Amino acid sequence: MAAQYPGWLIVLIPGALAFGLGLAFWLFRRPAAPLAVRRERMIELAGELGLRYYGAVGTEALSSLPACEFFGKTPCEGLQNLMAEKREPPRVLLFDYGWVATPPRKRGASGDDEQSPLYMVALARLPDGVRVTPACVHRKDWFGGPAGIEGLYALHLPGDPAFSNSFLIVGEPRDAVAGMLDEPVRKAIAGWTGRRPHPVVELTPDWVAAYVESEPGEKDVARRGASLCRYASGIAATFSPQVPTPRKEIFDG
């Protein structure tokens, strides 16, 4: 004789199975969702900033970027959410710099796990006729300077102890690097008003690059992107063709 089950149980079992399948599908699809939301917010940001949105571009675009130390040390398969000023050549660019994750890909993971936009980068072209000595400026954290970076040194500036105590520099020759970091430039670099983490500022002969870690699902990605563009552009605008020569006694490294 066939077993008899309550009517509510007959209805509950298919409903529970449907709910479980739906939950499993949602969990499987979840890794891609943050990047899709991020893309929508970046498209809106491009419109607010008056920039042209290009989206994802291949590795060939990397060859047209400035020779930043960061790009040479961080593997990337292409730029995501690229936007640029509507002029040729553009003087402002913003994009996500995705690097190839080192852990092995898990079974069932989506392709977004292998390339995630972990850094947001803003590039601002220096004024015409201005060329600077390549250098990188790192803000100190609670543990001191950034780990694993060679050639860090501090500037001892009697008139600017706040900058001296807050930043570390990478760049040679040191006298030329210190000379270009005059008071307006230092004030602009120290003027980041966004939340942590603080961006790294890299100076190339023709560009200012500011880059910062950014989680794929960062809710305030548009606000951070706007702040990063203003930050890089503000630093670039402070440079002057006249660069003083400092004393060498201001170094400590």
The share of the chain scoring above pLDDT 70, in percent, equals 73
The pLDDT of residue 20? 59
The pLDDT of residue 38? 92
The domain spans of the chain are 27-252
- Whether the per-residue pLDDT at 5 is higher than 60: the answer is no
More confident residue, 17 or 137: 137
More confident residue, 199 or 113: 199
Q: Residues in the chain, how many?
A: 253
The pLDDT of residue 200? 96
Mean pLDDT of the chain: 80
Asked if residue 141 lies in contact with residue 211, where contact means CB atoms within 8 angstroms, the answer is: no
pLDDT in tens, 85-112: 999 889 999 999 976 544 444 444 444 4
